[in-house]
Amino acid sequence: MRLRSLFALSLVLPFAAFAQAEPPADFFDTFNRLSILVDQEELSPMDFARGSMLASQFFSVGAPGLPKAQSWFSTAPTRGRASMSGMFLAIHGKQEHLDAVQRELETNRTKREWLYELVGTAENFNIAMENGETWKPLMRALPSTAGCRALALSCMQSRDALVRRTGLYWGYWFATPSYWAAAEKIRSGDPDPLARRMAEYLAHSEKKAAASQ
């Protein structure tokens, strides 16, 4: 699941700058096919190629697709649909859309179960980081990540510990000085012990990576 989440990010961000006048007739079909691909356990080079094509079609719709994407996110029955529609909202949406995504993460039981699988325990987080290292160079090179960074920072300020951990994890792949300032606040004073340990681990990992360059 962790690799799938990062795979989703690697697909969608390069296509955020291209917008159409209105959603095409096959908007849902493209969304559904891309979501199914993201949910696959194993991803081959052919999957990446197919996913890039689908993502190009889906995310090129731009702002006109926001109402449908918001509806799909709120009713998403699978991780793939939630991640694709949520990413669409982060890339193309305004603050109201980011707020809606965060509220869902804080209150929707199914989505919270998915978040728990990502950062609910130290073991889950460690697995997510091990898997995610494969994608780290690609994440740092992607353009148009402003909405994703904003959502991560907002989640890091949530009153909900699970959502704060999620923002901490997501934001790491797009880390900027603003992210590290927020991460330091979590490390030094968050009431959640696991969030503090995660922030400490991420800061250590960043220093280790910087020293090796």
Ranking 26-30, 101-105, 131-135, 139-143 by mean pLDDT, the lowest is 139-143
- Cβ atoms < 10 Å from Cβ of 28: 14
Residue 13 CB partners (closer than 8 Å, separation 6+)? 91, 142, 143, 144, 145, 148
Residue 16 has pLDDT above 50, yes or no: no
Query: Global pTM?
Result: 0.83
pLDDT band (50, 70, 90) for residue 104: very high
Residue 47 has pLDDT above 70, yes or no: yes
- Each residue's pLDDT tens digit, 108-151: 999 999 999 999 999 999 998 887 765 554 455 444 678 989 99
Helices marked H in the chain — which ranges? 2-12, 27-38, 45-59, 66-74, 79-92, 95-107, 109-119, 122-132, 136-141, 146-156, 161-172, 177-189, 193-212
Q: Compute the average pLDDT of residues 186-201.
A: 97
The DSSP annotation for 179-211 comes to HHHHHHHHHHH-S-HHHHHHHHHHHHHHHHHHH
